[in-house]
């Protein structure tokens, strides 16, 4: 496909129109913090709920941990893995900004593409009406009866959810949409309603003799269907396929009808089935959505908590084994959101293994609300889950439980008061009322968690060896090929006591120092002959082919490497910071190891001393990382900078 060139006016209008706070808020929960807004960074998995900063006045974002930086367009490019063009087109469409390209013919191509989406919406809306109509016609009698009798839904609810019926026929929707309404068959197929015959000859209806449950986006537009079989046909539930409009992992059922109730109740209840959600809405509990039959994803979770202040999500999956593992999977899927406080999760289990729909048929909405109010925090739920059906008197069960509990507790940020609370709580549960044992277990848990924390942290701070190798290489390349910076590099290496980590780099530096001391080379940019130093080194290396191979890229600079070194002073600064970073990390690990071995109770002063060292080193490391991140080379790519007034001064 040819590349479309968007008209600068379109790009400009989009930039004028968008607000970074709106854009980012769709993915990240932001809270006000002074002049900026803070939240958890969507680009790296960490536990810091305020690492990510958005500046409304500058219209840029920045992460203090991973260094992600840019404007709203860059944000969308990164998070959706889209090109600049795609993002601008989507935004233009969203804000009804006319899209112009630099080539008149292409503008039409683009408009056709946009109207394609609009047509899909239209087809689905018409299909939804058709199915609804069928439900109330003679042919839908059994389906309607199923809803009225078995599901006990009243007419208002059936109409509110636009429930329908797909007749028992191979081509009724095909004939209606393609032959009668004249939509191209290809388009109806793309809407997920018909399926081409395997032999390539025509189409057949995807949904036959099924109860149709339309799925809407948050704006209330139909984007797909869930369809329940009315006989023994498998599968019991058949969903629309993934289409241009329907993305299962980003959709939750009934969100369009629940948003205001979610805000009002300041919590959202997530149930498993469509009918659980519908039944709860009918009972007047409207802050309810249903997952799409799959484990709840992070994107779905973020879409939900956005509407609450307290970020409270109540998960109500079936109490059977499958429901239990669905709950476990859901928790695992967005664990980091919970632990960093982006979401506050409670687990609701309905007694006697019922689902919400069944429960409501026997109990009142108030009784259900009571269950919601008493739903345990997910950690408590997890702990009880670990302890269930275990015999703590037995050594193997006891050991397994302890191990699983440590694996759970280690995920709670180590400075959170929650951790202390749960260590105490778990120790008491494991000790089963024996207070002496409880104390011992508590100590043991603390020790194990400390160990665990350190190992995790260690894995986090080790930077890739390649960044060190690149840094050393660049430093030497500039030294050799940009004589005007030699003195600077030489001084920095002396001052910062830098030694090269890679043996061939060390070897080369030794050669250089030797040539200088023998006065065969100098730091003066005005050498006797241009590139005198490099030529001598090339000569020396030529006598030793093995070394020459390793040093080739340093001594012979091709064009692409020259481009990479275009701002030598900046490259030197970043390279030095990178080298110092690796050394700082080494020292950090050294102190952490010593601290780890120290008995906190008998030798508190020494432990305190090591702790201080660790903190000093950590501060130094953070400072270096900041320096590296804020170098303009790393800040952002060219295309976006061109259209925004980036001022990184304050960051």
Under the criterion CB under 5 A, does residue 79 sit at the interface with Zn ion? no
416 three-state secondary structure: coil
| In the complex, minimum distance from the CB of residue 50 to Zn ion, in angstroms, rounded to a whole number | 11
Nearest-angstrom CA–CA distance, 569 and 573: 6
Q: Are 37 and 92 in contact (CB under 8 A)?
A: no
| In the complex, minimum distance from the CB of residue 469 to Zn ion, in angstroms, rounded to a whole number | 24
Q: Which of 21, 47, 55, 66 binds Zn ion (CB under 5 A)?
A: 66
Q: Is 643 exposed, middle or buried (0-12, 13-18, 19+ CB in 10 A)?
A: middle
Q: Which of 41, 191, 279, 427 binds Zn ion (CB under 5 A)?
A: 41
Nearest-angstrom CA–CA distance, 112 and 109: 5
41-69 burial, b for 16+ CB within 10 Å, e for fewer? bbbeebbbbbbbbbbeebbbbbbbbebbb
Nearest-angstrom CA–CA distance, 343 and 268: 11
Under the criterion CB under 5 A, does residue 40 sit at the interface with Zn ion? no
Determine the interface stretch with Zn ion among 41-49, 184-192, 253-261, 330-338 (rule: CB under 5 A): 41-49
Owner of token pair 């009668």: 180
Nearest-angstrom CA–CA distance, 168 and 229: 11
81 vs 198, beta carbon nearer Zn ion = 81
- Neighbouring-strand partners of residue 212: 164, 227
| In the complex, minimum distance from the CB of residue 28 to Zn ion, in angstroms, rounded to a whole number | 10
| In the complex, minimum distance from the CB of residue 46 to Zn ion, in angstroms, rounded to a whole number | 7
66 vs 523, beta carbon nearer Zn ion = 66
Q: Within 10 Å of residue 152's Cβ, how many Cβ atoms?
A: 13
Count, residues in the chain: 651
| In the complex, minimum distance from the CB of residue 79 to Zn ion, in angstroms, rounded to a whole number | 12
Nearest-angstrom CA–CA distance, 304 and 3: 36
| In the complex, minimum distance from the CB of residue 66 to Zn ion, in angstroms, rounded to a whole number | 3
Q: Are 65 and 41 in contact (CB under 8 A)?
A: yes
414 three-state secondary structure: coil
CA angle at 9 for the pair 649 and 121, rounded to the nearest 5°: 105
Determine the interface stretch with Zn ion among 35-43, 128-136, 449-457, 615-623 (rule: CB under 5 A): 35-43
Determine the interface stretch with Zn ion among 65-73, 229-237, 392-400, 415-423 (rule: CB under 5 A): 65-73
DSSP state of 6: B
63 vs 401, beta carbon nearer Zn ion = 63
43 vs 507, beta carbon nearer Zn ion = 43
| In the complex, minimum distance from the CB of residue 44 to Zn ion, in angstroms, rounded to a whole number | 4
The residue count for binding Zn ion (CB under 5 A) is 7
| In the complex, minimum distance from the CB of residue 618 to Zn ion, in angstroms, rounded to a whole number | 17
Q: Is 480 exposed, middle or buried (0-12, 13-18, 19+ CB in 10 A)?
A: buried
21 vs 516, beta carbon nearer Zn ion = 21
| In the complex, minimum distance from the CB of residue 67 to Zn ion, in angstroms, rounded to a whole number | 7
Which pair of tokens denotes residue 28? 């990240």
Nearest-angstrom CA–CA distance, 211 and 232: 13
Under the criterion CB under 5 A, does residue 181 sit at the interface with Zn ion? no
Which pair of tokens denotes residue 61? 């974002």
78 vs 256, beta carbon nearer Zn ion = 78
Of 464, 511, 492, 644, nearest in space to 569 by CA: 492
Under the criterion CB under 5 A, does residue 43 sit at the interface with Zn ion? yes
Radius of gyration of the chain (CA): 32
68 vs 423, beta carbon nearer Zn ion = 68
69 vs 346, beta carbon nearer Zn ion = 69
52 vs 317, beta carbon nearer Zn ion = 52
75 vs 253, beta carbon nearer Zn ion = 75
Q: Within 10 Å of residue 173's Cβ, how many Cβ atoms?
A: 26
41 vs 582, beta carbon nearer Zn ion = 41
| In the complex, minimum distance from the CB of residue 53 to Zn ion, in angstroms, rounded to a whole number | 10
175 vs 456, beta carbon nearer Zn ion = 456
Determine the interface stretch with Zn ion among 34-42, 135-143, 194-202, 391-399 (rule: CB under 5 A): 34-42
| In the complex, minimum distance from the CB of residue 40 to Zn ion, in angstroms, rounded to a whole number | 9
Q: Which helix (H) or strand (E) holds 425?
A: helix 417-431
Under the criterion CB under 5 A, does residue 44 sit at the interface with Zn ion? yes
Under the criterion CB under 5 A, does residue 65 sit at the interface with Zn ion? yes
Determine the interface stretch with Zn ion among 39-47, 583-591, 619-627, 640-648 (rule: CB under 5 A): 39-47
The backbone torsions φ and ψ at residue 49, rounded to the nearest 5 degrees and listed phi first, read -80, 0
Determine the interface stretch with Zn ion among 62-70, 119-127, 133-141, 413-421 (rule: CB under 5 A): 62-70
Which pair of tokens denotes residue 601? 């109770």
Q: Which of 28, 29, 63, 222 binds Zn ion (CB under 5 A)?
A: 63
| In the complex, minimum distance from the CB of residue 65 to Zn ion, in angstroms, rounded to a whole number | 5
The contact set with Zn ion (CB under 5 A) reads: 41, 43-44, 63, 65-66, 68
């Amino acid at each position: 496909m040819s590349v479309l060139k968007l008209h600068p006016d379109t790009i400009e209008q989009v930039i004028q129109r968008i607000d970074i706070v709106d854009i980012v808020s769709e993915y990240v929960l932001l809270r006000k913090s002074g002049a900026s807004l803070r939240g958890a960074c969507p680009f790296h998995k960490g536990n810091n709920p305020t690492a990510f900063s958005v500046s409304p006045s500058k219209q840029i974002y920045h992460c203090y941990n991973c260094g992600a930086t840019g404007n709203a367009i860059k944000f969308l490019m990164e998070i959706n893995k889209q090109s600049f063009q795609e993002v601008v087109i989507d935004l233009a469409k969203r804000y009804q900004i006319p899209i112009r390209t630099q080539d008149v013919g292409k503008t039409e191509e683009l408009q056709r593409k946009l109207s394609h989406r609009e047509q899909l919406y239209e087809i689905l809306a018409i299909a939804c009406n058709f199915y609804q109509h069928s439900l109330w016609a003679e042919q839908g009698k059994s389906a309607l009866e199923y809803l009225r009798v078995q599901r006990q839904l009243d007419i208002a609810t059936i109409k509110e959810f636009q429930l329908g019926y797909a007749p028992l026929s191979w081509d009724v929707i095909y004939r209606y949409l393609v032959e009668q309404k004249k939509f191209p068959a290809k388009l109806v197929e793309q809407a997920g309603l018909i399926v081409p015959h395997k032999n390539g000859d025509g189409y057949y209806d995807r949904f036959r003799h099924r109860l149709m449950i339309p799925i809407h986006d948050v704006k209330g537009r139909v984007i797909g269907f869930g369809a329940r079989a009315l006989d023994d046909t498998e599968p019991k539930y058949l969903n629309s396929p993934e289409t241009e409009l329907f993305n299962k992992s980003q959709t939750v059922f009934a969100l369009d009808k629940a948003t205001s109730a979610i805000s009002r109740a300041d919590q959202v209840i997530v149930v498993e089935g469509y009918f659980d959600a519908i039944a709860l809405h009918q009972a007047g509990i409207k802050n309810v959505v249903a997952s799409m039959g799959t484990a709840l994803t992070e994107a779905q979770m973020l879409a939900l908590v956005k509407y609450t202040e307290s970020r409270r999500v109540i998960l109500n999956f079936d109490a059977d084994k499958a429901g239990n593992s669905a709950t476990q999977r859901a928790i695992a899927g967005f664990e980091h959101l919970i632990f960093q406080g982006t979401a506050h999760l409670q687990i609701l289990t309905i007694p006697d293994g019922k689902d919400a729909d069944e429960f409501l048929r026997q109990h009142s909405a108030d009784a259900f609300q009571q269950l919601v109010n008493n739903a345990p925090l997910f950690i408590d739920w997890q702990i009880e889950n670990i302890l269930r059906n275990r015999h703590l008197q037995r050594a193997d069960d006891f050991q397994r439980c302890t191990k699983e509990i440590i694996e759970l507790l280690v995920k709670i940020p180590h400075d959170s008061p929650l951790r202390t609370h749960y260590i105490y709580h778990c120790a008491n549960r494991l000790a089963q009322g024996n207070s002496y044992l409880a104390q011992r277990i508590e100590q043991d848990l603390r020790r194990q968690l400390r160990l665990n924390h350190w190992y995790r942290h260690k894995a986090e701070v080790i930077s890739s060896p390649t960044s060190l190798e690149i840094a050393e290489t660049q430093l030497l390349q500039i030294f050799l090929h940009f004589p005007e910076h030699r003195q600077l590099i030489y001084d920095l290496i002396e001052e910062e006591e830098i030694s090269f980590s890679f043996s061939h780099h060390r070897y080369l530096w030794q050669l250089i120092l030797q040539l200088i001391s023998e006065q065969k080379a100098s730091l003066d940019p005005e050498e006797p002959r241009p590139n005198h130093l490099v030529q001598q080194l090339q000569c020396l290396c030529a006598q030793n082919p093995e070394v020459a191979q390793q040093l080739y890229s340093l001594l012979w600079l091709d064009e692409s490497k020259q481009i990479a070194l275009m701002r030598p002073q900046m490259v030197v600064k970043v390279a030095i910071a990178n080298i110092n970073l690796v050394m700082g990390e080494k020292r950090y690990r050294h102190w952490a190891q010593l601290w780890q071995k120290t008995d906190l109770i008998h030798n508190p002063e020494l432990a305190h001393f090591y702790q201080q060292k660790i903190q000093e080193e950590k501060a130094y490391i953070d400072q270096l990382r900041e320096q590296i991140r804020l170098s303009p080379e790393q800040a952002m790519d060219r295309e976006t900078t061109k259209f925004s007034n980036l001022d990184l001064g304050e960051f």
